[in-house]
Structure 1
């Protein structure tokens, strides 16, 4: 299994729908890597003792971990939280998510400011670089169980667009110039 990504349509309807262009315009993992988005496919059934996950955590310095379940009956203020998560934003740290169950969409902006939708399923781990504009929503199943990973102490602060004045955004833009 590999992560699937595509350019999004401009529809304003339910964000939990796939929003593929017609015809679909797939986005390769290489294009995602050029944007600083990296991914792995792991065995989520053994995440507690997975040597491959332990190796990634050690190599990347992911020292903090917690697990969140995003579902209407487990997440207080579910609809309000989804609106916040789906508002375009950036972080000053990388965002690392490992899908343990369910599905998720992470949308990122490409170099031309077009939306790319990344569909994650059980076992897929993704890193979004600090400074990239992005947003999250579950798919129509409305269920995601994810491991959140951080380097050091977690920082939960999101900066909604526009946030171009942030140094981390400027560093991110500069990193795209070379790719």
Structure 2
């Protein structure tokens, strides 16, 4: 079961810690979707190519390109700078689709009220982060994740750091989230 919670507003210290509010405020998956439009699915991480749900999502949503990324000190070139870059608040013009194969980490997303929700991802978690939402990623204290990245067509890697409210994808996202 994926865990999500509202982050403490004025946290300090290591970004890889949980940073719960006190007392913790957990977010159920249905509420997460209502507040952010982030989708979560559970997939067979040991055999993703034969997972019916994943194959159905790929077919229905047009995910035609995939690769893998491993984030660890040993595997990621320029590790420290990449982690800082991943943790900068940004958005993309396309969905961000990640399937965790090994390890764990956190995706932080801004909800409709501009509060941070932290989503813990572990093997088998597939997240679909909508285009236009402000978000960021960090490893947890295990310092390791291996994930499959899926794309519609050729991969687009460009992050647009906040503020990017002028972008069409951001305007579309805000329109969708407010109409729910």
Give TM-score scaled by structure 2 length: 0.96
Query: Could you tell me which residue of structure 1 aligns to residue 129 of structure 2?
Result: 128
Query: Could you tell me which residue of structure 2 aligns to residue 5 of structure 1?
Result: 4
Give TM-score scaled by structure 1 length: 0.97
Query: 1:96-154 deviations in whole A, cap 9, x for unaligned?
Result: 00000000100000111110000010000000000000000011000010000011110
Q: How does 1:26-175 map to 2 (within 5 A)?
A: 26-34=26-34, 35-175=36-176
Aligned residues: 178
Query: Could you tell me which residue of structure 2 aligns to residue 23 of structure 1?
Result: 23
Aligned 8 A contact 2:96 2:129 in 1: yes
Structure 1 residues without counterparts, runs of 5 or longer: none
Distance, in Å, in 2 between the alignment partners of 1:31 and 1:62 is 26
- C-alpha deviation, 1:48, in angstroms: 3.1
Structure 2 residues without counterparts, runs of 5 or longer: none
RMSD of aligned Cα (Å): 0.9
